Structure 1
């Protein structure tokens, strides 16, 4: 059972009040079943105006967690989080298994057309994989696509 009265933040963070100028940005909630790095990027982008306020970054981040992720947050040891950097590290470590593995363009050579698969479906699957490669090389993609034949 989680103890929601116990905070993993230090007293300094826990007792700090947000400034009156603070306006809560809109966040996508993190439920514990997706890439934590993507959530951190989204969060940092939404909090760009407050990125130098470590206390605020910590306290507001906790509000973006739901379901299993919120349960996890309250299992962190009391007084264990002193800054947003530490919170980001433990968060990423906990949900690391949901991080996508970065692939290189040569991964496309592993995509083979199944015998019963239509060319249209193969092309759709190939394009989807190509889109997941950051900074992909178009000439390698073209060669890989032609290699299936």
Structure 2
């Protein structure tokens, strides 16, 4: 592509080979001759797809998760695990602390989490799942 950077026609034609799926289908939607240069194509493509880019979330994102008091513990665990899965290399300590801060202090799970600081995140989630059954039985 570096060899042809001054040839807009060629750049526009080659651009489509870098696309897949929906983006490649999009390439054929603009009316013929509506884009006159590669810069225009780049701008048009960026405007169309900039909202689709993934925002990298960090462990601290978990502090934004709130437990709805009207929802069950099971719903909270499910929502929390889904958000946690979206974070690459999530810090286990932060995950545990953020989960725990939304639990009522008198909840049995809260007490167990305080007492067992050496749990892995997988063990932690397993314990939370077990307590969802207890909550539902109550």
- In structure 1, runs of 5+ residues without a counterpart are 1-8, 16-54
Q: Give 1:103 deviation, angstroms.
A: 2.1
Aligned twin of 1:45: none
Alignment of 1:104 with 2:61, yes or no, is no
Aligned twin of 1:10: 8
Aligned twin of 1:116: 70
Q: Measure, in 2, the Cα distance between the counterparts of 1:12 and 1:93.
A: 22
Change in Cα spacing, 1:61 to 1:72, as seen in structure 2 (3 Å) is farther
Conservation of the 8 A alpha-carbon contact between 1:103 and 1:133? yes
TM-score normalized by the length of structure 2? 0.52
Cα root mean square deviation, aligned: 3.3
Which of 77, 94, 113 aligns to 1:140? It is: 94
Q: Give 1:126 deviation, angstroms.
A: 0.4
Which protein shows a greater Rg? 2
| Regions of 4+ moved over 6 Å | 86-89
Q: Measure, in 1, the Cα distance between the counterparts of 2:80 and 2:33.
A: 42
TM-score normalized by the length of structure 1? 0.49
Higher relative contact order (CA 8 A, sep 6+): 1
Aligned twin of 2:136: none
Change in Cα spacing, 1:12 to 1:101, as seen in structure 2 (3 Å) is closer
Conservation of the 8 A alpha-carbon contact between 1:108 and 1:144? yes
Conservation of the 8 A alpha-carbon contact between 2:62 and 2:95? yes
